Amino acid sequence: MEELIKNLGLVINATLIATPPLLYAALGSTFSERSGVVNIGIEGMMTIGAFVGAAVAHFTGNAWLAFLCGGLVGALFGLIHAIACVSFGADQTISGTAINFLAPGVAIFVCKALFEQSSNTPPLDTVQKLPKLFNGVFEVGSFWNNVLNTYVATYLAFVAVAIVWFIFYKTRFGMRLRAVGEHPKACETQGINVYRTRYIAVIASGFLSGLGGAYVTLCTVSQFRPEVIVGQGFIAIAAVIFGKFTPQGAMGACLLFGLCNGLKVLLGSGNVISPNLISMIPYVVTIITLVLFVGKSRVPAASGKAYVKQK
């Protein structure tokens, strides 16, 4: 029994560490998707957010500043995506793919320039990382320590879900954002600036993705390496589609995917099932679920189409 509780604690711990990067990125994705702009460049935005987070933490020792900077650089690439797709009407999938080349390329380039040709940043001390919430309160290795003593940024991720939900469904901006994703022409004729709304949404998606990436280097891995973001951005997109483009749905889906990671920690180390097979689970589950729940996911009507203003 004790063994079971201990394992449960470990699984929850691993889940709570794997989920936030996905969750931040998924929340970002909902902003973009609901406004009608497809953003598959999230993977790239996470990568550069991860790098900037690690680099700023190394140089300044201030983890929260680093966290913020990770978000800001993600927002910068969000701006690039917005300019290409909203103002220039570029194909959104192509633009996102370009960002998945550019952002990691820039990240590693700058990393090599700053850190003597290494594509890794120096490891961060605990002091330079983001803090945990209940540090020292519980006994190390105990169930409650595993569950509750996790990073502040993790709790923040779940708080962010509530904030995003509030913005979407209770505020003016959120209502306009959702309308723009459904029928931009109607919004334009009612005096709403479609371009501006989409810009804000896409920049926000970049910001949140950057935060997601920075979380990885500032909490989990403690340094930037090129492979630190390997698929999380794409899983986040899948989570959003899965969660029917709502913040609460995205949260549920991300927890599910995070759980898969938790199981990988538990099962993979015992060599019972190959970690590679476990890693496949989120992707296979996504497909199977979409097949079973056919047609339930309602995509924003204007998604993926560039909006051309009247003359």
Residues at the contact surface with another protein, assessed by CB under 8 A: 38, 40, 80, 84, 88-91, 93-95, 97-106, 108-110, 112-113, 117, 170-172, 175-176, 178-179, 182-183, 185-192, 226-227, 230-231, 234, 237-238, 241, 274, 276-277, 279-280, 283-284, 286-287, 290-291, 294-295, 298-299, 301, 310-311
Q: Which residue has the tokens 């698929």?
A: 231
Of 221, 181, 174, residue with least CA distance to 46? 221
Report, in Å, the least distance between residue 285 CB and another protein. Answer: 10
Report, in Å, the least distance between residue 71 CB and another protein. Answer: 21
Report, in Å, the least distance between residue 279 CB and another protein. Answer: 5
Q: Which residue has the tokens 């989570």?
A: 239
Q: Closer CB to another protein, residue 71 or residue 233?
A: 233
CA gap 239, 208 in Å, rounded: 15
Please give the angle made by the CA atoms of 262, 263 and 269, to the nearest 5 degrees.
100
Q: How many CB atoms lie within 10 A of CB 23?
A: 30
Q: Closer CB to another protein, residue 119 or residue 142?
A: 119
CA gap 173, 46 in Å, rounded: 25
Name 192's Cβ contacts closer than 8 Å, sequence gap at least 6. 176, 179, 180
Q: Closer CB to another protein, residue 136 or residue 295?
A: 295
Q: Is 113 helix (H, G, I), strand (E, B) or coil?
A: helix
CA gap 284, 281 in Å, rounded: 5
Q: Closer CB to another protein, residue 195 or residue 234?
A: 234
Q: Closer CB to another protein, residue 11 or residue 40?
A: 40
**H/E stretch holding 205:** helix 194-215
Name 127's Cβ contacts closer than 8 Å, sequence gap at least 6. 61
Report, in Å, the least distance between residue 158 CB and another protein. Answer: 21
Q: Which residue has the tokens 């105990």?
A: 142
Report, in Å, the least distance between residue 230 CB and another protein. Answer: 5
Residue 264, both tokens:
């990988």
CB 87 within 8 A of CB 308: no
Q: Closer CB to another protein, residue 143 or residue 168?
A: 168
Q: Closer CB to another protein, residue 6 or residue 185?
A: 185
Please give the angle made by the CA atoms of 229, 21 and 47, to the nearest 5 degrees.
30
